[in-house]
């Protein structure tokens, strides 16, 4: 089993993937474009390990060993000997294309290139490379150390071997996988949450029910841990709007057409917990 991982992007998702992988014994290169971004990422990883140690879920020496397995760098060339590379940068196809074009020239032939995208078709990302059969989606969930699911996405040309390697990697870091066999925008999970959030936002916009009651209906009626509007605030209304727009652009399916009120919230900066106001005040 391969044990060298490179993670591109030291934000919340990238640092989370690096954290669980190092804890599982992988040697990890964490790459971002600035030292500041890398410091934020590695500080977050250390703080998370410290919390697990304080709660008795991780031994201090294991946390120290895991941290020592992470190398932070601004040098993309550091991916050269990685067996698996996971891209976890902003959800913009142009940015991902730029990264995958560069990775294609740097990584070894047998390496697999994975994207943590939640909504962009893997086939579109793979098209920037000369090895589309070695490109796969590994959609982790936030916060990565706590959430068990990893959505594996097969692009149009992804090989069985690549999918199997991606599953081995995700399972080795403690995740349970589902497989998306047809590369539709938004895959399974993002399509489901976006459809639910859009309908909940429409019900809220038209005054059918309050945000609290819509969320309560989903929690008590369907057993959801969190209602769709509270989920939107936690994820970021802007992030979900962006994902919904991606899916709508690809599918032209009206159920992914976000209501105007959701767009105005983003225009106004009311994007959820991170701004102090979304569908709820925080």
- Picking from 115, 152, 151, 150, the residue whose alpha carbon sits closest to that of residue 132 is 115
Helix residue ranges, H only, the chain: 12-23, 35-54, 60-68, 93-106, 122-126, 160-172, 189-205, 211-222, 228-235, 237-251, 260-268
SS3 state of residue 152: strand
* Same domain for 169 and 266: no
| Structural domain includes residue 203 | yes
Between 72 and 120, the higher pLDDT residue: 72
For residue 29, pLDDT beyond 70: yes
What value does the mean pLDDT take over residues 228-256? Answer: 94
Structure token pair of residue 135: 């490109």
CB 211 within 8 A of CB 278: no
Residue where a domain terminates, one of 145, 180, 215 = 180
Q: What is the CATH number of the domain that holds 232?
A: 1.10.1040.10
* Same domain for 129 and 266: no
What value does the mean pLDDT take over residues 156-160? Answer: 98
Tell me the sheet residues that pair with 180: 153
* Same domain for 87 and 104: yes
* Same domain for 103 and 14: yes
The Cα 159–Cα 241 span in angstroms is: 32
Binding-site residue ranges: 48, 55, 118
Q: Binning pLDDT at 50, 70 and 90, where does residue 247 land?
A: very high
* Same domain for 224 and 161: no
How many independent structural domains does the chain possess?
A: 2
The single-letter DSSP state of residue 272 is B
**End-to-end C-alpha distance for the chain, whole angstroms:** 45
Q: Binning pLDDT at 50, 70 and 90, where does residue 266 land?
A: very high
Residue where a domain terminates, one of 131, 156, 180 = 180
Q: Binning pLDDT at 50, 70 and 90, where does residue 119 land?
A: confident
Binding-site residue ranges for CoA: 48, 55, 118
Residue where a domain terminates, one of 180, 204, 230 = 180
pLDDT score of 36 = 97
What value does the mean pLDDT take over residues 224-245? Answer: 94
CB 154 within 8 A of CB 180: yes
Q: Compute CA distances 223 → 102, 202, 231, whole Å.
A: 44, 21, 14
* Same domain for 105 and 36: yes
Q: Tell me which residue range forms the domain holding 245.
A: 189-273
* Same domain for 174 and 198: no
Q: What Rg do the C-alpha atoms of the chain give, in angstroms?
A: 19
| Structural domain includes residue 282 | no
* Same domain for 233 and 114: no
* Same domain for 255 and 175: no
The torsion of the CA quartet 81, 86, 92, 97, rounded to 10 degrees, works out to 30
| 176: enclosing H helix or E strand | strand 176-180
* Same domain for 170 and 193: no
pLDDT score of 142 = 87
* Same domain for 83 and 155: yes
* Same domain for 158 and 68: yes
Per residue in 57-107, pLDDT tens?
Answer: 999 999 999 999 999 999 999 999 999 999 999 989 999 999 999 999 999
């Amino acid at each position: 089993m391969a044990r060298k991982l490179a993670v591109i992007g030291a934000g919340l998702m990238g640092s989370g993937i690096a954290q669980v992988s190092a804890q599982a014994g992988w040697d990890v290169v964490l790459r971002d474009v600035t030292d500041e971004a890398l410091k934020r990422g590695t500080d977050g990883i250390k703080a998370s390990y410290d919390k697990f140690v304080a709660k008795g879920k991780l031994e201090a020496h294991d946390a120290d060993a895991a941290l020592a397995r992470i190398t932070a760098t601004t040098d993309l060339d550091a991916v050269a000997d990685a067996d698996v590379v996971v891209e976890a940068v902003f959800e913009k196809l142009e940015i991902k294309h730029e990264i995958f074009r560069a990775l294609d020239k740097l990584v070894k032939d047998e390496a697999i290139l994975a994207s943590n995208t939640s909504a962009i078709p893997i086939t579109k990302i793979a098209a920037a490379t000369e090895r589309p059969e070695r490109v796969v989606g590994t959609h982790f969930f936030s916060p990565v150390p706590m959430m068990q699911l990893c959505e594996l996405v097969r692009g149009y040309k992804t090989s069985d071997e690549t999918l199997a390697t991606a599953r081995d990697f995700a399972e080795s870091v403690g995740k349970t996988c589902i497989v998306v066999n047809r590369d539709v925008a938004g895959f399974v999970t993002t399509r489901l949450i976006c459809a639910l959030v859009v309908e909940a936002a429409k019900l809220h916009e038209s005054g059918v029910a309050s945000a609290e009651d819509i969320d309560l209906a989903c929690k008590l009626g369907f057993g959801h841990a969190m209602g769709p509007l509270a989920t939107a605030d936690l994820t970021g209304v802007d992030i979900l709007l962006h994902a919904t727009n991606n899916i709508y652009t690809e599918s032209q399916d009206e159920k992914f057409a976000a209501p105007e009120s959701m767009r105005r919230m983003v225009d106004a900066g009311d994007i959820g917990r991170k701004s102090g106001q979304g569908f709820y005040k925080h």
